[in-house]
Amino acid sequence: MENLSNPGKASLMSEDIRILCVDDEENILKAIQRSLRKVFDIHTAASGRQGLEMMRNEGPFQIIVSDMRMPEMDGAVFLKAVREEFPDTVRLLLTGFADMETVVSAINEGNIFRFIAKPCPASVLRDAFNDAIRQYQLLTAEKVLLEQTLKGSIHALTEVLSLSNPAAFGRGTRIRHFATMMATELSVPDLWQIEVAAMLSQIGSITLPEETIMKVYRGDELSVAEQTMVARLPEMTRNVLGGIPRLDGILEILDYQTKNFDGTGFPQDSVAGEEIPLGARILKVAVRWEELQSKGESPGRIIDNMNAGKGLYDPDVLNVFAIVAEKGDGKETARGVSLRDLRTGMVFTEDVKSKTGVLLVAGGQEVSISLLERIQNYEATVGLKVPMWVLNPLEEDEVPPVQESTENVIGNTDLESVPNNQE
C-alpha cells in the first residue's frame, strides 16, 4: 500500500468518526494503520469474533471494513452480525477472494455499503473511507430529521387530545407512568417506544361518544354496544396513526395491547406468550392497573385481582408490577394551588373542572403551555373550581408564573392549608 500519511485533504475527518478494520492478516492491518492513521481514527481486530467484542465493549464505531476470508467467522457472517446489532454502522468489504457467489452473499447478508478488491492502494481505501463517512453523516442526518418529525407529530397529536379530550389524555398519561415504571424495572432497551405507545393508546377514543368516554374514565359498567366500541379502539388507533412514518414498532405494541398471554383475545391470530411484543404485554398490565386504581382499589387488591386472571398477563411482567406497585410513586404530598401559582412541569393529581362542571384537565396530566391557556380562558369566562391539586411544584425562580390580568386572579387565599378532599 502506498504511503498517504500526508494526503493534503482531510476535510471529512472528525473526532466522532471511528473506523474498525477487521482482518486475520496482521501485516494488512499494520499497513492500513501506517498509511491512514494520521487521517482517520483507526482501530483493528484480528478476527470477526474479536471485532464483535470490540463493537460491544469499545464502540461505537461508525465505519467498519472487514476482510472476507477469515477463520471461524468469515466476512459475510461477521458483517451480518454487525448489521443486526449495529445497524447504523456503515459496512465495507475488503477481499481478494474472487468467488462472486460468496461476495454476493456478503453484500446481501451484510448489506454492505461498498466492496473493495485486494490489492487495494491506500488512496482507494482513503476515498472509500471518505465516502463511507459521507454516507454515515447522510444517514445520521436523515435519522435525526425523521425522529424530530416523528416527535413533532406525536407531540401535536397528544396536545390536541389533551385539549379535545382531557379525560382520555389524562388516562394515557397515567398509563404511561405505570408502563414506564415497569419497563424501567425490566431494563427495556427501547423505553421511548413504550412511553409513546402508552400516550397514543387513547387516541382511538376520539371515535367514542362523550358519555362512553366518561364511563370508561370512571370505570363504570359498559353496555354490550359500548364494550364492542371499546374493543375496537386498537383498530381505530391504527387508522389514526397509520399514516405517520416509522411507527411500526409502536403500532405493533398498540395492535397487541389487549392480546391475552395465552393467545386468546384480539387480534385473533396464533401469536401467544413471549411472541407478543414485550411493550404490548407491559401496556396490557399498565392499562388494567390504571382502570383498577381509578376505581379506588388499593395496590394489594390490584395485585390480587391481576394474579387471579389466569392466562391474561405475562407472569414476569406481573412480578415486576407487584414490585413497583408496592414501592409507590415516591412523590411528596399534593398541595392546592390557584391559577396564578400554576407552573409548567407541575402534575395535576385531581381533575380540574370549571364552575359549571366541565372537565378541563384530567388528573395525571402535566401542566403545559396549552393547558395553561385553556385554564386561563375558562377562568376568564365561567370560572374555575379551586384549589387545583398538584405534585412536584417547581420553585418560583425556576419557571416564571403564568401571566394573568388582575381580574383573572382568583384571590389571595392561603390554599396550602385547604384539606385535600375539598374543592
Element (H, E) at 42: strand 41-45
- pLDDT for 105 equals 66
Q: How big is the CA angle at 410 (ends 408 and 412), to the nearest 5 degrees?
A: 130
Query: Is the pLDDT confidence value at 10 over 80?
Result: no
**Domain 18-140 sits in CATH 3.40.50.2300:** yes
- pLDDT for 59 equals 81
296 backbone dihedrals φ, ψ, rounded to 5°: 90, 10
| Contacts of the segment 237-243: beta carbons below 8 A, 24+ positions apart | 237/200, 237/201, 237/203, 237/204, 239/204, 240/157, 240/203, 240/204, 240/206, 241/157, 241/200, 241/203
Per the listing, cell 364492542 goes with: 228
**What's the half-sphere exposure (Cβ side, CA atoms, 13 Å) at 273?**
1
- pLDDT for 151 equals 72
- Residues 251-277, mean pLDDT to the nearest whole number: 90
Q: Are 153 and 244 in contact (CB under 8 A)?
A: yes
pLDDT tier for residue 160 given thresholds of 50, 70 and 90: confident
Provide the 10 A C-beta neighbour count for residue 138: 11
pLDDT tens by residue, 311-363: 999 999 999 998 888 776 444 567 788 888 888 878 887 888 888 888 888 77
Cis check: omega of the bond before 87, within 30 degrees of 0: no
Of the two residues 396 and 167, the one the predictor is more confident about is: 167
- Residues 88-100, mean pLDDT to the nearest whole number: 78
Asked whether the CA dihedral 257, 262, 264, 267 is positive or negative, the reply is positive
Alpha helices in 207-298 (DSSP H): 210-218, 224-231, 233-241, 248-255, 278-294
Query: Is the pLDDT confidence value at 3 over 50?
Result: no
- Cα 278 from Cα 275, distance rounded (Å): 8
Query: Is the pLDDT confidence value at 143 over 80?
Result: no
- Residues 378-398, mean pLDDT to the nearest whole number: 72
pLDDT tens by residue, 313-325: 999 999 999 888 8
Picking from 49-63, 224-238, 299-313, 375-389, which range would have the lowest pLDDT averaged per residue? 224-238
Element (H, E) at 405: none
- pLDDT for 18 equals 92
pLDDT tier for residue 19 given thresholds of 50, 70 and 90: very high
Picking from 61-75, 113-127, 217-231, 249-263, which range would have the lowest pLDDT averaged per residue? 217-231
Cell numbers linked to 91: 459496512
- Residues 191-207, mean pLDDT to the nearest whole number: 82
* b/e code 349-366 from CB counts within 10 Å (16+ = b): bbbbbbeeeebbbbbbbb
- pLDDT for 398 equals 40
Query: Is the pLDDT confidence value at 71 over 80?
Result: yes
- pLDDT for 54 equals 94
pLDDT tier for residue 97 given thresholds of 50, 70 and 90: low
Looking at residue 65, the DSSP 8-state letter turns out to be E
Element (H, E) at 38: none
Q: At what angle do helices 210-218 and 224-231 cross, to 10 degrees?
A: 90
Q: Are 28 and 34 in contact (CB under 8 A)?
A: no
Domain residue extents for the chain = 18-140, 165-327, 335-417
Number of helical H runs and strand E runs in the chain? 15, 10
Looking at residue 265, the DSSP 8-state letter turns out to be S
- pLDDT for 396 equals 37
- pLDDT for 90 equals 93
- pLDDT for 420 equals 38
CATH code of the region 165-327: 1.10.3210.10
Q: Are 355 and 383 in contact (CB under 8 A)?
A: yes
SS3 267: coil
Q: Are 181 and 324 in contact (CB under 8 A)?
A: yes
- pLDDT for 110 equals 63
**What's the half-sphere exposure (Cβ side, CA atoms, 13 Å) at 198?**
31
Task: Record the pTM.
Answer: 0.54
Ramachandran class of 311: left when φ > 0, alpha when ψ lies in -120 to 50, beta otherwise: left
Q: How big is the CA angle at 68 (ends 20 and 62), to the nearest 5 degrees?
A: 25
- Residues 128-143, mean pLDDT to the nearest whole number: 86
Q: What is the mean pLDDT of the chain?
A: 79
Tell me, yes or no, if the two domains 18-140 and 165-327 fold the same way: no
Which stretch, 24-38, 91-105, 324-338, 356-370, has highest mean pLDDT? Answer: 24-38
- Cα 379 from Cα 402, distance rounded (Å): 13
- pLDDT for 395 equals 41
